């Protein structure tokens, strides 16, 4: 059963069509990526799904309910970790619970439990400024998770990190995605990252009208050693680059 269904979304800014009749879906427990060059409206699409932006046309369904213009249903995370500098790590993680009206004490207990589960209990009283980029991004992910495990929207969350931290955090994310049973919609302009993380990849080009087909990444081949250097990986990459050029 699809978790998220996006139907015929169009959006224009000042006579310029950004998104044109876009439809796609995300199944439960899937990681689906949307790849595309900058400026094709990936972030606009995310703002629409998050309920922050009104598209001119179309519908967005989460679990068969329309969430158009209704913020507060899906979790949302950007390239910037956006951990609030004036709150400690545990206060940051507890923030979504507080916003939902949870008692402060209860929210902190829940945040602490989650931090402990992921081995961050030693930094829970630290301020974000004292942490490394990779660490901050992971904590921001935990905050995103604590807001809602329903559907997680990630807008290039790892693109500001260096290669080593990035690859480490990608593996970490795959692990928690599986363990926590998440559903993720992922925006990136990094094709390698999309292939590595996703079950399916959508390629978004400038104002397309024609089909918006996904490329299925076979999870069996991902298990192979050195998948990132394998022929299958290169084939997927070729396929994505070809559909970008079309």
Q: Binding residues for other proteins, per CB under 8 A? A: 47, 50-52, 71-76, 78, 80, 82, 84-88, 95-96, 98-100, 127, 129-130, 147
- Closest of 169, 221, 209 to residue 190, by C-alpha: 169
CB of 54 to other proteins, least distance (A): 13
CB of 78 to other proteins, least distance (A): 6
CB of 80 to other proteins, least distance (A): 6
* Euclidean distance between CA atoms 134 and 224, whole angstroms: 26
Name 107's Cβ contacts closer than 8 Å, sequence gap at least 6: 94, 97, 98
Sheet of 31-35: strands edge to edge? Answer: 75-77, 152-155, 184-188, 31-35, 200-203, 214-216
Which residue lies nearer to other proteins by CB, 75 or 183?
75
CB of 15 to other proteins, least distance (A): 24
* Euclidean distance between CA atoms 143 and 120, whole angstroms: 13
Which residue lies nearer to other proteins by CB, 183 or 199?
183
Which residue lies nearer to other proteins by CB, 108 or 195?
108
> Which burial class, exposed, middle or buried, applies to 229 when counting CB atoms under 10 A from its CB (0-12, 13-18, 19+)?
exposed
CB of 152 to other proteins, least distance (A): 12
Which residue lies nearer to other proteins by CB, 20 or 75?
75
Which residue lies nearer to other proteins by CB, 101 or 220?
101
**Tokens describing residue 211:** 């089909």
* Euclidean distance between CA atoms 128 and 75, whole angstroms: 20
């Amino acid at each position: 059963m699809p978790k998220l269904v996006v139907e015929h979304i169009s959006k224009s800014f000042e006579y310029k069509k950004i998104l044109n009749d876009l439809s796609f879906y995300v199944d439960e427990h899937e990681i689906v990526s949307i790849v595309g060059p900058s400026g094709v409206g990936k972030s606009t699409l995310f703002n629409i799904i998050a309920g922050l932006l009104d598209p001119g046309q179309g519908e967005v369904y989460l679990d068969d309910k329309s969430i158009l213009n209704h913020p507060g249903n899906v979790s949302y995370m950007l390239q910037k970790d956006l951990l609030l500098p004036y709150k400690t790590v545990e206060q940051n993680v507890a923030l979504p619970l507080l916003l939902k009206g949870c008692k402060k004490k209860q929210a902190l207990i829940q945040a602490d439990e989650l931090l402990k589960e992921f081995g961050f209990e030693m930094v829970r009283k630290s301020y974000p400024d004292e942490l490394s980029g990779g660490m901050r991004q992971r904590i921001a992910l935990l905050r995103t998770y604590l807001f809602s495990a329903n559907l997680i929207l990630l807008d290039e969350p790892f693109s500001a990190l260096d290669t080593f931290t990035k690859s480490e955090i990608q593996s970490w994310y795959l692990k928690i995605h599986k363990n926590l049973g998440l559903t993720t919609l992922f925006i990136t302009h990094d094709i390698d990252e999309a292939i590595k993380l996703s079950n399916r990849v959508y390629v978004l080009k400038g104002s397309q009208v024609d089909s918006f087909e996904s490329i299925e990444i076979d999870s069996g081949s991902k298990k192979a050693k050195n998948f990132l250097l394998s022929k299958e990986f290169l084939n997927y990459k070729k396929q994505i680059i070809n559909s970008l050029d079309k």
